[in-house]
Amino acid sequence: MGIESRQIPPPLSIIDGLGDDSDDNVRAQTGVPISIYGMIGNSAAFMTLLRQIAKIAHTDACVLIEGETGVGKELTARAIHYLSARRSKPFISLNCGAIPESLIESELFGHTRGAFTDAKTNRSGVISQADGGTLFLDEIDSLPCKGQVALLRFLQDRRYRPVGQSAELVSNSRVIAATNQPLQDLVERRAFRSDLMYRLNILRLQVPPLRERKTDIVLLARHFLKVYCERYGLPVKSLHSSSWVWMMRYDWPGNVRELESVIHRNVLLSEDHEIIIDECVPQLQSQPSPSSIHEFLNFQDAKARAIAEFERGYLSKLVKETHGNVSAAARLACKERRSLGKLLKKYGIDKEVE
């Protein structure tokens, strides 16, 4: 559980003025990132999410945020809160999976002194703390059955009663819930109440996984590189070209959280200015070495052929990952566009780019 400090949010026009899909394509090609409360990206999927956040922020209904683990569901909830009229009120978060069933009503509604053993003082619950603001219920799929019943009763009329108190109270809080499992699937397995799902699922927001935001990987990786180099007082580091290729091909099952952990670990462990991500090292080692392929060539010829094969393979993968966008490919390779264009022409890959 946590209370988010009050911040001055950017005006809604930042998101409202993002434009249409054609603007997204221009933004992706120029590499201009958008950053909203820790959310960074410029991909079409990311821009669509921001537009949905802006629409939802104008409303006051319950929101159900679905998405895989690590995609940034809490950041999405914070963005909704700070872009809404409730921005000056508290943002309260509660992880439903971390609360024992016996304490769930106390956490939600609070309790009075003497209501149960160890209740030595009055204590407010998260619903009271979020009054006027936003209550974010993370891992709502883990909410115990007793808690589901209690939450449903509150959502029906916004009235609640602290444990041990007879008088009812009213809370003007907006509820945003998040889950990494589709609630509909849980309802079909009778692991979640259907009536509660319908109460929560008034507005639904699906946060896309990182594998559907390929162009955002570069922006996020560079952001995390800067953050952790600064945090540990290290000189600014960069990623080796092989690391970029691996990152663009990897599926990222842990999404943005996994990407951040990978960058964090490699910043700490790498002794070189240029980082080769440890996960991609086995792939590099499993490839046939130039010496085994060209054992009958002299050293200079073997070296030249190995370099040519590497460059041709690297450029082909680069063009494929960027869908033929030379500017995006140049940024990903950290090379000038003109220089990259010459290499593409050298290996006859320029026709594939068009």
The residue that leads in pLDDT, 353 or 333, is: 333
Query: What are the extents of the domains in the chain?
Result: 2-208, 212-353
Q: What pLDDT, on a 0 to 100 scale, did the predictor assign at position 240?
A: 87
Alpha carbons 75 and 126: distance in angstroms, whole number: 19
Q: What pLDDT, on a 0 to 100 scale, did the predictor assign at position 351?
A: 45
Q: What is the pLDDT of residues 46-60, one digit of tens each?
A: 999 999 999 999 999
Per-residue pLDDT band for 292 (boundaries 50, 70, 90) equals very low
Encoding tokens for residue 48?
A: 């669509």
> What is the percentage of the chain residues whose pLDDT exceeds 70?
80
* Phi, psi (deg, nearest 5) at residue 216: -80, -15
Q: What pLDDT, on a 0 to 100 scale, did the predictor assign at position 148?
A: 94
Q: What pLDDT, on a 0 to 100 scale, did the predictor assign at position 65?
A: 98
The domain made up of 212-353 has a fold known as Helicase, Ruva Protein; domain 3 (1.10.8)
The domain made up of 2-208 has a fold known as Rossmann fold (3.40.50)
Q: What is the pLDDT of residues 144-160, one digit of tens each?
A: 888 999 999 999 999 99
The residue that leads in pLDDT, 333 or 149, is: 149
- What is the DSSP track for 179-226? ESS-HHHHHHTTSS-HHHHHHHTTEEEEPPPGGG-HHHHHHHHHHHHH
Q: What pLDDT, on a 0 to 100 scale, did the predictor assign at position 151?
A: 95
Q: What pLDDT, on a 0 to 100 scale, did the predictor assign at position 210?
A: 96
Per-residue pLDDT band for 198 (boundaries 50, 70, 90) equals very high
Q: What is the pLDDT of residues 11-43, one digit of tens each?
A: 444 454 455 554 554 444 445 678 888 899 999
110-149 burial, b for 16+ CB within 10 Å, e for fewer?
bbeeebeeeeeeebebbbbbbbebbbbbbbbbbbbeebbe
For range 79-85, the mean pLDDT = 96
